Amino acid sequence: MRKSFTFLAMLLGLFIFVSCGGDEDIEIFGCTDPDAENYDPEATTDDETCVIKGCMDVEADNFDSEANSDDGSCTYSTGKAVFYTFVDYGYGAISIYVEGEYEGQVTVKIMMAECGTDGCVTIEKEPGTYNWNAESQDGHTTSGTVTIEGGDCKKVSLNLL
Domains and CATH numbers, the chain: 27-75 (no CATH), 79-157 (2.60.40)
Residue from 57, 110, 152, 2 nearest 121 by CA: 110
Beta bridge partners, 154, equal 81
Residue 76 has what pLDDT? 86
56 close to 76: Cβ distance less than 8 angstroms: no
* Cα angle, residue 23 at apex, residues 21 and 27 outer, rounded to 5°: 135
Tell me if the pTM is above 0.75. no
More confident residue, 22 or 38: 38
Residue from 103, 109, 104 nearest 89 by CA: 109
Please, which pLDDT band fits residue 15 given cuts at 50, 70 and 90?
very low
What percent of the chain shows pLDDT beyond 70? Answer: 85
Residue 128 has what pLDDT? 94
Residue 59 has what pLDDT? 83
H or E element at residue 14? helix 2-20
pLDDT at 122 over 80: yes
More confident residue, 39 or 14: 39
Average pLDDT over residues 106-114: 92
pLDDT at 78 over 80: yes
pLDDT at 6 over 70: no
SS (H, E, C) 84-120: EECCCCCCCCEEEEECCEEEEEECCECCCCCCCCCCC
